Amino acid sequence: ILSVEYIRIEDFPETSEPVWILGQQFSALTEKDEILADVTSRLWFTYRKNFQPIGGTGPTSDTGWGCMLRCGQMILGQALICRHLGRDWRWSPGQRQRAEYINILNAFIDKKDSYYSIHQIAQMGVGEGKSIGQWYGPNTVAQVLKKLAVFDSWSRLAVHVAMDNTVVIEEISEGACAVSEEPREMNGDLEGACALAEEETALWKPLVLLIPLRLGLSDINEAYIEPLKQCFMMPQSLGVIGGKPNSAHYFIGFVGDELIYLDPHTTQPAVDPNEDEQFPDDSYHCQHPPCRMHICELDPSIAAGFFCQTEDDFDDWCAQIRKVPKP
């Protein structure tokens, strides 16, 4: 089903208000090309059809039920881009792509053995009480992504899902720090050995922090609007997954009181990367101005995402969060 919002494809408004996209600020008056290049470089995962049956005998398309699963793929895809390519990386259509980029895309291909495929997410969701083909909420998809990331030995992410609207710093530290198993000898230099051991026992794993939130009962409480905007302004921002009831979007920024988002509600044929040597990746990038909707239309149930490549990034995020005015 093609959502109504998908039809609202229009250029950015002529406004002096800043455009914020995943922690980067742009001018709608002088940087429209840069805005579009940034948006187009995000991975755009949509409904697909004609893929291998999920579970061997299940659905061959996720049209009508997979939108939140696709949004989960998009927010994690952005984390992998930041992890392996950097936030400033830009996609160039028709050119030979970097090996890291191809590896990232392969992790999401609609096949049962891809780390974060629709097959893996749908089947892992059974353990969260969701049957295959059932619609997910933001919290469910966050929990599933946390479980799947454990198997991605290439990215070595620590995915943490903060529950009860609370980020417990000790829990993050335990999850994101990998303990070094083998202490190294320092030729009898005891002081140096202790210092090195202390440094190496806590090796930071890049952190994906997913925070399921409820910003009101049936509508978003206006007190949360400014704090939500500030999430998109942080350099660690991975955006927000949410939308309207049973209609999920991947929100990547805002301009004024409008949220900017990528919409998964269009069905494209499944891509087989074995078709030729060059990965056919055009359909994984939204090459028109992104959709917008007024922030008050947002369903109050969301999950916000943040990526901290280093422990310093996490410390900086904590400092910024503490400055956000409490509603």
Active-site entry in 119, 160, 249, 265: 265
Instruction: Give whichever of 5-9, 226-230, 245-249, 277-281 has the largest mean pLDDT.
Output: 226-230
Tokens of 291: 């959709």
* Extended beta strands in the chain, E state: 18-21, 24-27, 47-49, 158-161, 177-178, 203-204, 207-214, 237-244, 247-255, 258-262, 267-269, 291-294, 301-308
Residue 212 phi, psi dihedral angles, 5° rounding: -65, 135
Active site residue 265: yes
Q: Of 38, 62, 110, 263, which residue is the catalytic one?
A: 263
This prediction has a pTM of: 0.89
What pairs with residue 292 in β-bridges? 260
Condensed to tens digits (0 to 9), the pLDDT of residues 120-175 reads 999 999 999 999 998 889 999 999 999 999 999 999 999 999 988 788 888 887 77
Structure tokens, 50: 């004609």
pLDDT score at 187: 39
Whether 62 is a known active-site residue: answer no
Per the CB < 8 A criterion, the answer to whether 167 and 211 are in contact is yes
List, for residues 298-327, the tens digit of each pLDDT value: 999 999 999 999 999 999 999 999 988 777
Per the DSSP assignment, residues forming a β-bridge with 25 are 20
What does the alpha-carbon distance between residue 300 and residue 72 come to, in Å, rounded to a whole number? 17
